[in-house]
Structure 1
Amino acid sequence: MSSSESSMSSMLLTLSNNLADTVEQVGRCVVAVNVRGSHRGHWRSRISSSGIHWRSGIIITSDETIKRSEEITVTLADGRTVSVTVLGRDATTDVAVLKLQDVDLPVAEIGDASTLKVGHLVLALAQGKENGVTASMGVVSAVGDAWRSMSGGLIDQFLRPDLNLYSGFPGGPLVEVTTGKVVGMNTSGPRNMALTIPASTVNRVLDQLLSKGRIGRGYLGLGMQPVRLPDTLKSTLNLDSTGGVIVINVEPNGPADKAGVMIGDVLVAMDGKPVSDTGDVQALLGTQSVGKTLKVQLVRGGALVELAIAVGEK
């Protein structure tokens, strides 16, 4: 064997050992989440996902995987199975918070997902009820700016690892290989694509759930649907937007009703930003919008009208 081949073999052995050590260390902080619920009158138990011992006594897992289960337990790395209670959940970011009582379990070391770049090596971990910790290795295939889930939840960073999420992997950690730190919680995206909810989002949601028991979201009390604006109307009113949202329902005594919004109004701008579909409206109604007064531009009877709506809490 040449010196270069020997050097490469030594580097690979070192990398392999480091990966195994990382899996072993972080795996102690990962649990299997078991749910038990009724289905057509029969009780069924199953392993739904993994979970991360995020803070002392606090386990984070995927909200989608536990759904409306009547009973939840977790299996620890040492094989013990213990009961947990649900402290809170936010379906819009897929974060569920479970309370672990009086169990000695290592806490994961949390890192910063914003330091990740495309090409960085990462590990996804899961905990099985019988097989112990399992791992899947890949690279970060895409990073991006903040985005919103289909249900309106704000995710601080788009993060997609290129690895296989096997059964039980959702809810488990994404680990940055060089530091061994947990940078987020893995979840299944469209067509079973792996996505990661970054640690900053998990911490933000967790803090709100622990302090309030819920995630407060802005509320207008409107039923809306997208609509296109005629070119003549856009020209007459000097509007840049190609569309808006037409009001089809106004909740009595709701924030929009109190502000004077009427059925048939077409919202074209909120808080100085164009509105062309309901997603644009939802994007402005995050937690930070509660109690805030938003200036709204709408078309009523062919004229442009401005109103101010004090955002309520849903």
Structure 2
Amino acid sequence: MSLSSSEISSTLLALSNNLADTVERVGASVVAVNGRTSHGRRGWLRRNSSSSGIHWRPGIIVTSDETIKREEEITVTLPDGRTVPVTILGRDASTDVAVLKLENIEFPVAEIGDAATLKVGHLALALGRGTENGVSASMGVVSAIGDAWRSMSGGSIDRFVRLDLTLYSGFSGGPMVDAAGKVAGMNTSGPRNMALTIPASTVNRVVNQLLSKGRIARGYLGLGMQPVRLPDTLKRALSLASNGGVIVVNVEPNGPADKAGVLIGDVLVAIDGNPVSDTENVQAMLGTETVGKSLKVQLIRGGAPLEVTLIVGERPARED
């Protein structure tokens, strides 16, 4: 049965009104995050930056870590137009989540959803807030869904979510809103300006750790490494999966690798059976969950294969 033109118009109008209502409701929990940095040799030069943030829990704002510089003076512009200072409670570059604290100000908290319910083709909204222009929106669809993955710096992301929509300037750190009108995660720009969503479950995990510890525990080997290419003859002789590996150029005294007997000049080729061809491969295996865990490290020493058992330590805290 085909719809009449009036029925189609009515359906489109209802959809349009529902979208506008959703943007208004969710936008009431979205802030503009403003940074200002002072630097320069001749006097003070001011650089302003802006992103968006989500009122995730009462007094807690989450935003994109990559949009904030450590030396910045951070303020947020609220939905009512006020601009107020905030403090950085903690940040995790590996998941691109920064947590800000807002003191003694009440306004709507976002209704958090679940990225696990998303399917390819679902409608998606991205919201952002500017200092002067208020809330803005971009609409598209979920274009790709995948399993849990690790960022280049080793962050554990619960689900791969890619959006087919435009993340306008200042949208990073803003919410991804699902068809139910809930915040399924925080948006960020991926490679080649790809629109990615950090799932709400990942954000919650990071927020919990930052609130309790002020930092994210990271696996630590106590090694200095650089990539190396192995000869084809050695690859064949040892039945290696590839020609790649990482050579150890420094071993920290009393660190996890030192205690396991790793030496300068050793070439790591696999960890727990997973081939290693670059230092990024190693870092990707050192998430929060690996601290205290025993790993089987396959290496080459003097042209012969060797396996050692290494207990992953926790990376010492440091000032960045």
TM-score in terms of structure 1 length: 0.94
- Partner AA of 1:83 in structure 2: P
Retained in 2: the 8 A contact 1:57–1:102? yes
Bigger mean CA deviation after superposition, 205-214 or 137-146: 137-146
1:15 matched residue in structure 2: 15
Retained in 2: the 8 A contact 1:49–1:171? yes
1:221 matched residue in structure 2: 222
Q: How many residues align?
A: 312
Is 1:172 the counterpart of 2:174? The answer is yes
2:206 matched residue in structure 1: 205
Instruction: Supply the RMSD in Å over aligned alpha carbons.
Output: 1.7
Task: Calculate percent identity across the aligned residue pairs.
Answer: 77
Name the SS of the counterpart of 1:236 in structure 2: helix
Bigger mean CA deviation after superposition, 49-58 or 264-273: 264-273
Retained in 1: the 8 A contact 2:146–2:160? yes
1:101-146 CA-partner distances (Å, limit 9, x unpaired): 1111111011111211121111111112222111111111122122
Retained in 2: the 8 A contact 1:32–1:127? yes
Counterpart CA distance in 2 for 1:196 and 1:171 is: 9
Q: CA deviation at 1:78?
A: 0.9
Q: CA, structure 1 residues 225+21, in 2 after alignment: closer, same or farther (shift >3 Å)?
A: same
Retained in 1: the 8 A contact 2:49–2:67? no
Retained in 1: the 8 A contact 2:125–2:138? yes
- Partner AA of 2:107 in structure 1: L
1:53 matched residue in structure 2: 55
Counterpart CA distance in 1 for 2:38 and 2:238 is: 57
2:92 matched residue in structure 1: 90
Counterpart CA distance in 2 for 1:283 and 1:186 is: 22
Bigger mean CA deviation after superposition, 298-307 or 145-154: 145-154
Is 1:133 the counterpart of 2:135? The answer is yes
Retained in 1: the 8 A contact 2:62–2:98? yes
1:187-206 CA-partner distances (Å, limit 9, x unpaired): 11223222211111111111
- Partner AA of 1:22 in structure 2: T
Q: CA, structure 1 residues 164+3, in 2 after alignment: closer, same or farther (shift >3 Å)?
A: closer
Q: How does 1:148-297 map to 2 (within 5 A)?
A: 148-176=150-178, 178-297=179-298
Counterpart CA distance in 1 for 2:58 and 2:161 is: 26
Q: Which runs of 5+ in 1 are unaligned?
A: none
Counterpart CA distance in 2 for 1:233 and 1:37 is: 52
Q: Which runs of 5+ in 2 are unaligned?
A: 316-320
1:62 matched residue in structure 2: 64
Q: Where in structure 1 do 4 or more consecutive aligned residues deviate above 4 Å?
A: none
Counterpart CA distance in 2 for 1:223 and 1:281 is: 11
1:313 matched residue in structure 2: 314
2:126 matched residue in structure 1: 124
Retained in 2: the 8 A contact 1:35–1:69? no
TM-score in terms of structure 2 length: 0.92
Retained in 2: the 8 A contact 1:32–1:47? no
2:318 matched residue in structure 1: none
Bigger mean CA deviation after superposition, 128-137 or 274-283: 274-283
Name the SS of the counterpart of 2:4 in structure 1: helix
Name the SS of the counterpart of 2:85 in structure 1: strand
Bigger mean CA deviation after superposition, 69-78 or 94-103: 69-78
Bigger mean CA deviation after superposition, 274-283 or 16-25: 274-283
Bigger mean CA deviation after superposition, 240-249 or 27-36: 240-249
Counterpart CA distance in 1 for 2:257 and 2:34 is: 43
Name the SS of the counterpart of 1:26 in structure 2: helix
Q: CA deviation at 1:76?
A: 0.7
Name the SS of the counterpart of 1:308 in structure 2: strand
Name the SS of the counterpart of 1:205 in structure 2: helix
Retained in 2: the 8 A contact 1:145–1:158? yes
Name the SS of the counterpart of 1:179 in structure 2: coil
